[in-house]
Structure 1
């Protein structure tokens, strides 16, 4: 009887804990903003269809004067300018003369430079249900390296946001030489290989690249802080950083007045909700010398039909922060503004 009563009590206890946990999660879900008097706080209205792939938007930059959108299909960035509350198509900026896909995953802006990064990811072919096992095995064996994906771009814009110069460099050798990333540099990005998806610029002009993978022991995900040469688009120094995002990888980065917003999501196809964090910019690697309040969970994004791939800081107050999300798989990225508590 003693055992029986214990098991009778447990279900109630478990249900109580689940309800408590559910309530906590619900309180942390980001709220979409909707204000007809402020078009920035709702899904944007474009004057015409995007010329870049509208269903694979992967990166976004919003400044007071222009929007830049990137797609992980193709090789161009599209610029929009605002007039009478509507974003008007302004210019498509091709980053390459080749037809090869650049797999652009992140955008960042620090005047006069617009930065863009490829994923640096390797590929393995998908299996097909209409093939036999022998043929599917053949598809699995080769790993494809596309050097077009292993590029970092710097686009200098003039005062009218026309491109003056486009420069490029590759971090491929740096990734291969890094003692942590080296073993993962030969793996496909969807198999815990190297996959760069987030990009931001520090106040000092350093580039911060956030990786979706690899996911390391302790659920650590890497970032690279790239210091550029002062007079040329060359790498002066690379510093590896690490964050622990509850088993997630970095899907997007954006600068804030006192740090960065981090959009975190599954490293693969795991059914994990997307989370938003505030990061100070300091290394989050565990250790007695790690600074306090390096990373703070802000909220969870509501479940939707697309895959959030880009984040852009909008505004910050004492009690809340506002940001924009664009999603892969939804028309024009369905840019939507959200708010969550600080």
Structure 2
């Protein structure tokens, strides 16, 4: 169902990080604002902005360092593992995976004992525990949206937009992790690496009323994927806190369980009152990647449980074994969705500093069943 291929062109001077990793090889989220396509890479500490330069091309690469806009919990060179972005009400929201990681074994090393020992090492990366909003303002002269640490509100005279992030009582943590540490479903997953079905946030959708929907790639509980609904609000300069939520068992968040046939969530996008879910294998597995429509997902009055027959499967995203893992999607229109990939196949890289991505036609919503 791919309707077209798009070419994304990156600036050679900006496309590689300090470790030599290329932005195009780890795209993890995408958001469209006007003529600008915003991208993030899970191996970087930057946000990338491209501009539409043709019917099927985006270029004019501009890069923003996160450390210039917010305060990173750890070193500015330590990856943030950015996995989700959303846009609403003059802010770009960004989120890290909030996961811990296990060292991987190197099977080519003849020292088997050493490699087995590596598998026992688990690391906490504070930069991954990032949830922040960044002022996003249209520059009328250039026609581009720009990120700022603070900026005058474009429509509310005398008000300012300010970058802010969720903090916690302990350095490197945040309030979300602290409240989830008491959750009956998720507390065990906080101590488990993402690749072992531990906590792994990989999707973010931002609603106009301030609510965020966080899609979890893991844990998947007996086949059920999880969406967390929260409402971050201003606390004090540069800081957010979790606002009160009505209808959930916990006062600061709601939990929504979706039967995605054992798949986890890789991205979430809002379309009207529906939420579009990019679903794929949890942990470090290969398997089906599909897009679902969660009807009226934006307005669930309580914690919810949605069985598979109430989720509309829109399309499957083709991919190769171990390659072309769909990680992010951006709505180009009500009928077209752009998908970006982590670990792209060589055929997607016909030229240096470029990547081919796909768009897919979105079918009209099916009539609601009586």
State yes or no: 1:43 paired with 2:24: no
- Closer, same or farther: CA 158–32 of 1 in aligned 2, 3 Å: same
| Matching residue within 209, 213, 230 for 1:204 | 209
1:158 match: 137
Give the unaligned 5+ runs of structure 2.
Answer: 17-22, 140-144, 150-162, 167-173, 244-251, 365-370
Q: Tell me what 1:89 maps to.
A: 61
Aligned positions, number: 297
TM-score (norm 2): 0.74
Match of 2:260 among 237, 245, 264: 245
Larger Rg: 1
Residue by residue, what CA displacement relative to the aligned partner does 1:278-314 show, whole Å, maximum 9, x if unpaired? 113137844xxx6998522111112344110001223
Counterpart of 1:314 (choices 326, 332, 356) is 332
1:229 aligns with 2:233: yes
Quickly say closer, same or farther: Cα 1:108–1:333, change in 2 above 3 A: farther
**Structure 2 residue aligned with 1:147:** 126
Match of 2:104 among 126, 140, 162: 126
Give the match for residue 20 of structure 1: none
Aligned to 2:88: 110
1:284, 1:294 within 8 Å by CA — same for their partners in 2?
no
Determine the C-alpha separation between the residues in 1 that align with 2:3 and 2:76: 40
Q: CA deviation at 1:57?
A: 0.6
Unaligned runs of 5+ in 1: 1-30, 35-41
Residue 182 to residue 231, structure 1, CA distance change in 2 (3 Å): closer
**Structure 1 length-normalised TM:** 0.79
| Structure 1 position 212, deviation (Å) | 0.2
CA RMSD of aligned residues (A): 2.4
Cα offset, 1:148, TM superposition: 1.1
Alignment check: 8 A CA contact 1:263 1:276 kept: yes
Note the 1:186-205 alignment, pairs <5 A.
186-205=191-210
Task: Report SS of the residue matched to 2:227.
Answer: strand
Structure 1 CA distance, aligned partners of 2:11 and 2:78? 26
Counterpart for residue 302 of structure 1: 318
Summarize deviations over 1:73-102 as a string: whole Å, max 9, x none: 021101123356553123323344621110
Residue 29 of structure 2: aligned partner: 59
Question: In the aligned structure 1, how far is the partner of 2:283 from the partner of 2:269?
Answer: 22
The CA distance in 2 between the partners of 1:270 and 1:100, in whole Å, is: 25
- How far off its partner does 1:263 sit? 0.3
Q: 1:299 to 1:122 in 2, by over 3 A?
A: same
Whichever structure has more helix as a proportion of its residues is 1
